[in-house]
Amino acid sequence: MPPVIAFIGKPDSGKTTLLEKLIPELRRRGYRIGTIKHHVHAFEMDKPGKDTWRHKQAGASTVALSSPTGLGIIRDVDEDLTIEELVGRYYGDIDLVIAEGYKRLGLPKIEVFRSALHDTPLPDRDETWVAMVSDTAGVNNLPCFGLEDVVGLADFLEERFIKPFPKQKTSLLVNGQPVYLNSFVESFLRQAITGMTCSLKGCQDPREIIITIRQAPPE
């Protein structure tokens, strides 16, 4: 899986505003960036009255809006998907996933703190905090970047999280959970599946292969 970093902070600390500046800087360096916004309330994204909203209201479990420039999918789930399942399923071609929220998970975290809005940073800080972005220098001996220092912050993310984790060419999900593949297994699976796929008519130059196997539950 690509590396995941969580940006956290108190309400109105400026997390989204910071990401609006940070993402273009990382893209300028040639990286593909994915984001995940965690929301603890009921899902609500589609606009009432739109065709896709009407499809969903009619009872469709999955609704997709497809165009030449983008794809949006709304799908029912029985529970909040884990960050590992989300990233493993949908972010395989991404260099860095930035999550906004998830402060209770064991993800590496960067806290955004504005002393003009809040008296203190978040409590209960632990070893998962890797940096701060703040208008106050030197918070708790962590690397601290100014609110406008997106270049310095991008340098930190590039050296600490992107470069040390080259993307694997093959990924495996079992029951929604990513499975670690050592170099031998990764190479064996990739070559075996690619070789068999290339033998099929019309599949001589596969750039991406996705296989989903659903086993019937035991009776």
Using the predicted structure, report yes or no on whether residue 170 has a pLDDT greater than 80.
no
Pick 4-162's CATH classification: 3.40.50.2000, 3.40.50.11810, 3.40.50.300, 3.40.50.2300: 3.40.50.300
Using the predicted structure, report yes or no on whether residue 180 has a pLDDT greater than 90.
no
Least confident of 63-72, 138-147, 171-180, 197-206: 171-180
**CA distance readout (Å), 150 to 17, 57, 105, 130, 139:** 11, 42, 25, 16, 18
For residue 142, the 8-state DSSP code is S
> How far is Cα 117 from Cα 111, in angstroms, rounded to an integer?
14
Using the predicted structure, report yes or no on whether residue 171 has a pLDDT greater than 90.
no
The helix (H) or strand (E) run that includes residue 25 is helix 15-28
Say what the pLDDT of residue 160 is.
95
> What is the pTM for the complete model shown?
0.78
Parse the chain into domains and list their residue ranges: 4-162, 168-219
122-148, pLDDT tens digit by residue? 988 899 999 999 988 656 688 999 999
